[in-house]
Structure 1
Amino acid sequence: MSTVVRPAVIEHHREPLGIGEASPRLSWTVDADVAGWSQAAYEIEVDGHAHGRVDSAEQVLVAWPAAALDSRERRTVRVRVWGADGGASDWSAPTVLEAGLLDPSLWRADLVAPPLPETGSGGEPAALLRGEAEIGGGIVRARIRATAHGVMTLHVNGAPVGDDALHPGWTSYATRLRYRTWDVTDLVRPGRNAIGVHLADGWYRGYLGFGGLRDLYGDRTAAIVQLEVEHADGSLTVVGTDASWRSALGPVTRSDLYMGETFVADRVVGGWSEPGFDDAAWDAVEVVDLDPATLVAPDGPAVRATEAIRVTETIHSPSGRTILDFGQNLVGRLRVHVPKGAGTIVLRHAEVLEDGELGTRPLRRARATDEIVADGTAFTWEPSFTFHGFRYAEVTGWPGTVDPAAFEAVVLHTDMRRIGTFSCSDPLLDRLHENVVWGMRGNFLDVPTDCPQRDERLGWTGDLMAFAPTAAYLYDTAGMLTGWLADLAADQHDDGNVPVYIPWADVDPHMPPLGAEAGWGDAATVVPWTLYERYGDVGILERQWSSMTAWVDAFARRAGDAVDFASGGFSFGDWLDSAAPDDQPWAARLPWQAVATAYLAQSARILRDAADVLGNPEAGARYGALFDRAAARYRAEYVTPTGRAAFPSQTAYALALRFGLLDETQTAHAGALMAAQVAADGFRIGSGFLGTPHVLDALVDAGEAATAWRLLLQRAVPSWLYAVTMGATTVWERWNSMLPDGSINPGEMTSFNHYAFGAVADFLQRRVAGLAPAAPGYRRIRVAPVPTPELAWARTEHETPYGRAAVSWTLEDGAFALEVVVPPSTEAEIALPDGSETVVVGSGTHLFACAFAPGEAAGPAASFAG
């Protein structure tokens, strides 16, 4: 037997350098070549000291066994395990972790700001900041920590530091300003050293939201940088930004996330971040106030360039413009190899074409335009302080014929680890899933945003609430969303209400007054519960508990003791129901009061169950009673005694069935009534943001899988596959963002990259392929595929906290064959589509077969989520 323990993972960090946890939890996975292997015990070694065998099967987010870390402290960790058969593994390869500045008083650097520039209309110029310091010899280790009010790039002695993009991203600046730590040992040298910062507006001072507003957090950019050098004699040198630093404007004369960037080549300052540069003519910086207690280490990875895509076609538009097609709607920026002799090159970006020209109307006020003012020499340029959502780029000012080989589209997003895949025999479904992946990549750019291209790009809570299960399967989102939830708690109002986007900024003075917003505020409960369900993280429930309860209490106050939401007022409700008029996206078939009642019940139930996990029976009883009251109200007000929806819609039935709001009699009929509703809708989707994630599951749970398949495979508008048939490469915001004639939806709000309706991918992964969690962190897996004669095969893989799980099935001439890979230390319950008895198996590879006739439907399947 061979049992190998992979290196320990520290919390949710891919790079445990400068972490913010003093007692970080540890996780590990095991590779075992014996079927049914499970862990019986483990031992953790920290800095060569073994902490003794612990008889436990736990291996996910296990408590730190040693003394808490001090600031800057490094530890080396190894793990070994024993199987149930008594066999011991070797020690894992070591994992080195290092704490950041856990004590805020250790920040010695100042936050420094360049002089205020003149106000511009398309973004302010980016400032160069520099300082120098003397460093002694015997350098053992060097770390640099930095953050900004704005976005920055960093240089030491003329070399770039790290590969982060748009650092430090966007957080709740007043309470949580994220810094990052880099290892710069190879860049620092004895003697004089220089540090350089290139600093732009970013989210802090740039245009933000859809109201044409800017300076929402402050009117000055600023940066703080601290270099810490350890020497062989044990001494520590700490230097950084202070009043001696100098500032000047550089080659980026205009920079804004929405508007774009202008680069003037003859303004490049050579050697500005190297020692000895003459900065006597530069301006002095100003030290500005900063509470170092607001500086926090990151929970997740940085934004980085993850891919570069070449041009697939050069298009000459009816107006004579040259447009480059990259074949994929993406988020990022262009890398341009500028030829000799070029003048001013203008680059405009858009997601779609309309009448053969760039379709820029959906961008609203976002100009999405970059400019290169060349100096006659050849050079390669890529903007540093903006990003665009685009498939097409229009090029003007190019000398001679535009050379497509001179352009690459650089894809940017938070550098999460891909952990889930899906594929099947239907090319349209395959493309739909790929569109979901691309939509997530584009919109998980530091903040989980609603869209990446227009003048909005906000962290809408309702969108993420709907999409979180899909996201958690496709990528390891635990670290990123842990940080986002901390921002949610920080920005939560004193009365417990959750803003409709996080981080919160008042980006639109025209937004209607909002109360406790159903579905949107429920991100406070649904997202932590999803992270617990998918990653086995009890700690996220502990950290977010006060935020979760404050939200549900605020929501319950809006409903009142009778759970009777007022008939008047405004609420988003089932936003963008397919029946809603183009100019009234809130006008869903199911009134928002019914949606609110259902979501109040669902969040109350989550709190009831979370209280049980956390050992709080009093809270569990209280929120269980709230669930009962909300469910009773839904039954009494919105459903007849036989289960018929008072407001016939797919969402009405889906929420009632999936959230457990009906009694037995109503449940017995509601599934058939829902199937009849789908048929009455022409087997086309009839729901919005809050109903759509639950429609297919509700049908399958009710024994109406055949109807679910007809709905899923529908190609006419509105449907998931309509956009695919129209050439979409990401998921659209509206079911009809583009009309069948190729024109853009006439509404003022439409996006061609918006992941909310992409929540369907969770159904593809969990039900079509059939890989679902049946216990937190996939400690127990539910494998219950829902096949159809329309598919010859489907497969999915997911890297669970315990290792790789996989499901693959084929269907040929009524013969169904299933292969399941179960990770070590877990088990799987297998439910075949012929309705035969469920089988439970341990780790290893397992094969199953049964007959499956056309028209058969899988029976109800249990769901850990409720």
Structure 2
Amino acid sequence: EQRPLGGITEIAPFTGIDDRGLGDLSGPLGWQLAYPFLQKQLYDFYGDKRIIENQYPAFKKQLNFLITTAPMNLYSWDISDHEALDPKPEGLSAAAFYYHHILLGAEFAGILGNSRDSIEYATLAKSIKENIIAKYHVPATGRFDNATQSAQLFALYYDLAPDRDKSFDVLSKEFERHKWHISTGIFSTKMMFDVLRENNMNDAAYRIANQKDFPGWGYMLENGATTLWETWAFPESDPSRNHPMFGSVDEWFFRSLGGINPLAPGFKRIQIKPQPAGDLSWVKTSYNSVHGKIVSDWKKQANGFQMHIVIPANTRADVYCPSAAGKPVMENGKEIKAVRYESGYAVMELGSGEYNLSSF
């Protein structure tokens, strides 16, 4: 719900809860972010800009509230990474959530053809990013804020790190310190899967997701969970034993293992980039997009890699088939020309249809 001054409440329907909020009974920044973030998700997955168009006046009111309320153009308080096991990077997360709001303002204005607003918000976002780096980055170290898994993932997810290699190195050491178990909360758990996928590090994601002891999804299963808990530890009575906040692991099956992601709103253009990991020898994935079913099945064989993919009508896909550089990719006995080879993949641009690909 929107408050009179423009802020969004922590929960809806509103019951008066405003933990770490921004005034006028508005909620904390991370929870306020749900309002524009959901619009962005719906646009990306369905390609319909009407929700952005219809909500834009209210979103502008929210942005104006955030901008006029921000001390020195930065926030430092928030609930932060709820249920993280390490100390939460409250200041960094609050600043990053503010930055995210303004980035979406610039993007939504651009989608609607409002160049004036888009330029204004983009300029402000650049300033906020510079302020975050100046305040929370430890120069020459790659560390952000308290350098926990959460902190490093916030920095990498929002592209704040001046030296990404160093920031990844700090993150890897944090994974090692936790014996490749997760210590993240509601936000940086999703960020972890996205960051590792986008940087071809799915083996790390698989190793973490596949742990059977505390903390992790396997620990929940080993302890009788049939739904996701709100906490990594078993909730005796409170909080919830049926809470979707750690459900980004389900998204990981589709986006990383199956490799299905939109490259244009509504999956008009698709990326199919499976990322085999660990001891997995096969994966079957499908997603019912607004254009039709997208399929990405693959299996490893002793002499190569096989993919079965389906690209819906009136769409195109960038298809990544694991392959050594320069090696041919075959489709039912005929070679398909790769437009490039990168990071262990042959990349092909394919139109609608069903394909059976193999590489050796």
> Considering the TM-score relative to the shorter chain, is it more than 0.5?
yes
Q: Which residue of 1 aligns with 2:154?
A: 655
Q: Which residue of 2 aligns with 1:791?
A: 280
**1:561 Cα shift?**
3.8
Q: Deviations over 1:150-184 (max 9, x none)?
A: xxxxxxxxxxxxxxxxxxxxxxxxxxxxxxxxxxx
Amino acid at match of 1:602: H
**1:605 Cα shift?**
1.4
**1:557 Cα shift?**
3.1
Q: CA RMSD in A?
A: 1.9
Alignment partner of 2:252 out of 763, 766, 789: 763
Amino acid at match of 1:850: S
Alignment partner of 1:571 out of 63, 70, 78: 78
**1:607 Cα shift?**
1.7
Q: Which residue of 1 aligns with 2:214?
A: 717
Structure 2 unaligned spans of 5+: 324-343
Q: Deviations over 1:326-363 (max 9, x none)?
A: xxxxxxxxxxxxxxxxxxxxxxxxxxxxxxxxxxxxxx
Partners of 1:599 and 1:766 in 2: CA distance:
23
**1:627 Cα shift?**
1.7
Q: Which residue of 2 aligns with 1:493?
A: 3
- Is the 8 Å Cα contact of residues 818 and 849 (structure 1) preserved in structure 2? yes
Judged with a 3 Å threshold, the aligned counterparts in structure 2 of structure 1 residues 810 and 625 are, in CA distance, closer, same or farther, namely same
Judged with a 3 Å threshold, the aligned counterparts in structure 2 of structure 1 residues 706 and 759 are, in CA distance, closer, same or farther, namely closer
Q: Which residue of 2 aligns with 1:823?
A: 312
**1:512 Cα shift?**
4.8
Provide the aligned length of Structure 1 versus Structure 2.
335
- Is the 8 Å Cα contact of residues 779 and 802 (structure 1) preserved in structure 2? yes
Partners of 1:777 and 1:553 in 2: CA distance:
29
**1:558 Cα shift?**
3.4
**1:790 Cα shift?**
1.6
**1:525 Cα shift?**
0.9
Partners of 2:284 and 2:314 in 1: CA distance:
22
Q: Which residue of 2 aligns with 1:681?
A: 178
**1:804 Cα shift?**
1.3
Structure that is richer in strand per residue: 1
**1:571 Cα shift?**
2.8
Instruction: List structure 1 segments (4+ residues) > 3 angstroms apart after TM superposition.
Output: none
- Please give the TM-score of this superposition, normalised by the length of structure 2: 0.87
Partners of 1:557 and 1:833 in 2: CA distance:
50
Partners of 2:145 and 2:15 in 1: CA distance:
38
Judged with a 3 Å threshold, the aligned counterparts in structure 2 of structure 1 residues 576 and 522 are, in CA distance, closer, same or farther, namely same
**1:599 Cα shift?**
1.4
**1:814 Cα shift?**
6.7
Amino acid at match of 1:595: S
Q: Which residue of 2 aligns with 1:698?
A: 195
Alignment partner of 1:843 out of 337, 345, 352: 352
**1:551 Cα shift?**
2.2
Partners of 1:529 and 1:538 in 2: CA distance:
9
Partners of 1:678 and 1:513 in 2: CA distance:
29
- Is the 8 Å Cα contact of residues 321 and 359 (structure 2) preserved in structure 1? yes
Identity value in percent: 25
Larger Rg: 1
- Is the 8 Å Cα contact of residues 573 and 595 (structure 1) preserved in structure 2? yes
Q: Counterparts in 2 of 1:514-529, with a 5 A limit? A: 514-515=21-22, 517-529=28-40
**1:548 Cα shift?**
2.0
Judged with a 3 Å threshold, the aligned counterparts in structure 2 of structure 1 residues 832 and 675 are, in CA distance, closer, same or farther, namely farther
Partners of 2:69 and 2:219 in 1: CA distance:
38
Q: Counterparts in 2 of 1:450-849, with a 5 A limit? A: 491-506=1-16, 512=19, 514-515=21-22, 517-563=28-74, 565-566=75-76, 571-579=78-86, 589-642=87-140, 643-663=142-162, 666-738=163-235, 744=236, 749-813=238-302, 815-834=304-323, 835-849=344-358
Judged with a 3 Å threshold, the aligned counterparts in structure 2 of structure 1 residues 777 and 559 are, in CA distance, closer, same or farther, namely same
Secondary structure at the residue paired with 2:125? helix
Partners of 2:216 and 2:209 in 1: CA distance:
7
**1:756 Cα shift?**
0.5
**1:496 Cα shift?**
1.2
Partners of 1:576 and 1:763 in 2: CA distance:
20
Partners of 1:611 and 1:787 in 2: CA distance:
38
| 494-503 or 831-840: bigger deviation | 831-840
Amino acid at match of 1:848: L
Judged with a 3 Å threshold, the aligned counterparts in structure 2 of structure 1 residues 527 and 533 are, in CA distance, closer, same or farther, namely same
**1:620 Cα shift?**
0.7
Partners of 2:15 and 2:103 in 1: CA distance:
30
**1:493 Cα shift?**
0.7
Judged with a 3 Å threshold, the aligned counterparts in structure 2 of structure 1 residues 850 and 644 are, in CA distance, closer, same or farther, namely farther
Amino acid at match of 1:523: A
Judged with a 3 Å threshold, the aligned counterparts in structure 2 of structure 1 residues 513 and 674 are, in CA distance, closer, same or farther, namely closer
Amino acid at match of 1:844: G
Structure 1 unaligned spans of 5+: 1-490, 580-588, 739-743, 852-866
- Please give the TM-score of this superposition, normalised by the length of structure 1: 0.37
- Is the 8 Å Cα contact of residues 320 and 346 (structure 2) preserved in structure 1? yes
